[in-house]
Structure 1
Amino acid sequence: MDLARAMGWLGSDQYRGSPRAKPKALHIWHTEDYVAALQRAETEGRVSQAMRDRHGLGTVSNPVFPEMFRRPATAAGASLLAGELLAEGGVIHHPGGGTHHGFPDRAGGFCYLNDPVLAILSMKRAGVRRVAYIDIDAHHSDGVEHAFAGDRDTLLISSHEERRWPFTGALAEDGGGNCLNLPVPRGLNDTEMASIRDRLILQAVEAFAPDAIVLQCGADAVAEDPLSRLTLSNNAHWDVLRGLMALGCPRLLVLGGGGYNPWSVGRLWTGVWGILNGHEIPDRLPPEAEAVLRALHWSNARGGRNPPEHWFTTLRDAPRPGPIRPEVAERLAILCARPAAMGRTTEQQPIPAR
């Protein structure tokens, strides 16, 4: 947001503060016991062994910290509000959202609440029927799949690194017919992601003809991120966004997600905002924007201690093309042959009740 403002791209008329979701609003999907435990953990600054065992709180992946309820409840409030606002159509960018690993009664992978699920439920409660959820984070969207597997009116597409936590989202897992899971090998390049975009994501979404699209645009699939071994440039994410925008769906919600290198996250998501607003990505950042990036500090050994100059001066990465490896092509062929990829999840394909 600071970077977008420094670019002159984010005026006060385009920004809306998020309300903090009240516990009752979270009960649309999260259990009362879990929400109460999350609040208690924040108030007391600690968790019991029973809370850790039952709700996954107080672990390395879900640590106790001073705002552990307020912060995710604010992100959840934004997603709930977005669902209501989008009932009339439009485009919303919510970079603080995208916490796709939360479960009804349990935290997972730094995700204490599942705001993508709450956003989709909010849309549906406001009258939106068919929703396509696309997740290009480096990790599988296990919590979202748990919520909507078997839902005839929700298409779920997840591209994620294979053999990476949470170790779900195998190619054969279709969630009852409406989930397209594509585990990809290490080293995924821009050319391979373009093939995934064109052959799978755009074709499946267009055939599904959704009333709303939700894109979880996690930034941890780029080469500089320390928590994945994929090698995309931020151009790959932007091109997925452009392709989805071109489909002309009346409602679009773009969420954040993973991303653990502050420079690559800030540059990627600022570019998302620019694309949503029709701005040209400049070759060189203005001094005000460069100052925002030079003020960041990160001690990670994978580039953070000696960041390259282009992390300060540009938004766009250099493209990272490469060959389309046989395993990527084969997995795409399998998915594209499935009924869900042809938009037949509602009328033609029987899906068992949950």
Structure 2
Amino acid sequence: MTPLFLGHDIYRGSSYGEWHPLRVPRVPTVTDLARALGWLPADRFVRSPRAKPAALSAWHTPAYIDALMRTESTQTSDGATRTRHGLGTPACPVFPEMYRRPATGAGGSLLAGELLRNGGVIHHPGGGTHHGMPDRASGFCYLNDPVFAILSLRRNGAQRIAYVDIDAHHADGVEHAFTSDPDTLLISVHEEGRWPRTGALEDQGIGQTINLPVPKGLHDGEMDMIRERLILPLIERMAPDAIVLQCGSDAIEEDPLSGLSLTNASHRALVRACKPLSPRLLVLGGGGYNPWSVGRCWTLIWGELTGQDVPERLPPEAEAVLRALRWTRASRGRNPPDHWFETLADAPRRGQVRPAILHRIDALMTRDGLHVPGARFAH
């Protein structure tokens, strides 16, 4: 199956508000940049449908879906709705497309499971909203589309599913849904002490839940170690029917909402390594609040999925997409460096692997018989 890209114009011009981190354009930047590079012909672009309330009620409560639709319609949220459902809060504010936009993301993830019935590769940068809870919006996430992706994949023939999340924030909503499922491997690599302050090393469910909190400053060399000693051996041992990767770009150093120091080289390397390990691969977006780093990262992922040669210097049409971006409320956006406009692939940022990370990897790999003989990157 030819790799497919899921997108929609609802992301173009839609914003959580001028003060919110999700005021920045993300999916439109990826779409426009990929097209400017000649990487997104019409036959590879699939318009994401909007999920219907009945489909969303397969995991979210009907009362919550009703409240979300009602709040979008009235553009107001009363105290009871804020308290119970988390709608109208600073993290999950009232905005014009607050139901239609996440329902489109969820619809894309549901469709992805259907399109991958017989195998293939899909990039869905509008997905990855991993904090949504059954009865409540949380952490900028109104609906949990990764949950719907896993449910849809399972309905369409994938029994064993590996979900890998390298967003800077713990995948708490997805863990809530599947931590007791022995056929779902959950791996979340996230910054320790960062909101929502869950996902401790010791946390595990009845099924296969692997949480790796990492210290500030995590760099590409350390992520190489995590990928080779932890993520890939666990995926290979499971031999999943499908892999879902949540590639939040807020773990990149230039992002304002984390203290991690990755470059997009780590995201690219993980996608490349996981692609041959399962007949079905779905790559989602997620966090990412620097418009240049998120746009460049997710476009680079699409290039990796489709086997593109990444130019050392972007052509003028692609550079124009990046130069048109504005990020006025962040200090780093006032004087962006030239490589944010002129290049796509970052040079990896490597250094010494800290003992704390090695110890945590080893603790996970030996816990409850999880040790995999001959694990990579022996030290």
TM-score, length basis structure 1: 0.95
* Structure 1: unaligned runs, 5 residues or longer: 344-354
Q: Does 1:173 align with 2:203?
A: yes
Per-residue CA shift, 1:174-230, capped at 9, x if unaligned? Answer: 122410000000000110000000000000000011000000000000000000000
Matched AA of 1:195: M
Q: Does 1:308 align with 2:334?
A: no
Q: Percent identity?
A: 65
Offset, 1:87: 1.2
Equivalent pairs, count: 342
Q: Equivalent residue for 1:256? A: 285
What pairs with 1:312-323 in structure 2 (closer than 5 Å)?
A: 312-323=341-352
Offset, 1:246: 3.2
Per-residue CA shift, 1:89-116, capped at 9, x if unaligned? Answer: 1100000000000011000000000000
Question: Which residue among 303, 309, 319 is the counterpart of 1:280?
Answer: 309
Between 34-43 and 278-287, the greater mean CA deviation after superposition: 278-287
Q: Does 1:16 align with 2:46?
A: yes
Matched AA of 1:25: A
Q: Equivalent residue for 1:136? A: 166
What CA distance in whole angstroms lies between the structure 1 residues aligned with 2:103 and 2:235? 30
Q: Is the 8 A contact 1:203 1:341 kept in 2?
A: no
Q: Equivalent residue for 2:321? A: 292
What CA distance in whole angstroms lies between the structure 1 residues aligned with 2:270 and 2:63? 38
What CA distance in whole angstroms lies between the structure 1 residues aligned with 2:299 and 2:113? 22
Offset, 1:117: 0.1
Q: Is the 8 A contact 1:200 1:341 kept in 2?
A: no
Q: Equivalent residue for 1:265? A: 294
Q: Is the 8 A contact 1:204 1:342 kept in 2?
A: no
Offset, 1:280: 1.6
Offset, 1:318: 2.2
What CA distance in whole angstroms lies between the structure 2 residues aligned with 1:190 and 1:18? 33
What CA distance in whole angstroms lies between the structure 1 residues aligned with 2:322 and 2:139? 27
Q: Equivalent residue for 1:164? A: 194
Q: Equivalent residue for 1:30? A: 60
What CA distance in whole angstroms lies between the structure 2 residues aligned with 1:228 and 1:135? 15
What CA distance in whole angstroms lies between the structure 2 residues aligned with 1:281 and 1:341? 37
Matched AA of 1:337: T
Q: Is the 8 A contact 1:117 1:144 kept in 2?
A: yes
Question: Which residue among 166, 178, 187 is the counterpart of 1:148?
Answer: 178
* SS of corresponding position for 2:281: strand
Matched AA of 1:205: I
- The alignment's C-alpha RMSD in Å is 1.0
Q: Is the 8 A contact 2:91 2:138 kept in 1?
A: yes
What CA distance in whole angstroms lies between the structure 2 residues aligned with 1:55 and 1:217? 27
Matched AA of 2:354: R
* Structure 2: unaligned runs, 5 residues or longer: 1-30, 373-379
Q: Is the 8 A contact 1:224 1:302 kept in 2?
A: no
Q: Equivalent residue for 2:264? A: 234
Q: Is the 8 A contact 1:207 1:342 kept in 2?
A: no
Q: Equivalent residue for 2:118? A: 88
Distance 1:290 1:227, change over 3 A: same
Question: Which residue among 247, 250, 258 is the counterpart of 1:217?
Answer: 247
Distance 1:50 1:84, change over 3 A: same
Q: Is the 8 A contact 2:183 2:207 kept in 1?
A: no
Distance 1:145 1:151, change over 3 A: same
TM-score, length basis structure 2: 0.89
Q: Is the 8 A contact 2:184 2:207 kept in 1?
A: no
Offset, 1:338: 2.6
What CA distance in whole angstroms lies between the structure 2 residues aligned with 1:79 and 1:244? 19
Between 225-234 and 297-306, the greater mean CA deviation after superposition: 297-306
Offset, 1:122: 0.8
Offset, 1:281: 1.5
Q: Is the 8 A contact 1:256 1:269 kept in 2?
A: yes
Q: Is the 8 A contact 1:137 1:218 kept in 2?
A: yes
Q: Is the 8 A contact 1:177 1:340 kept in 2?
A: no
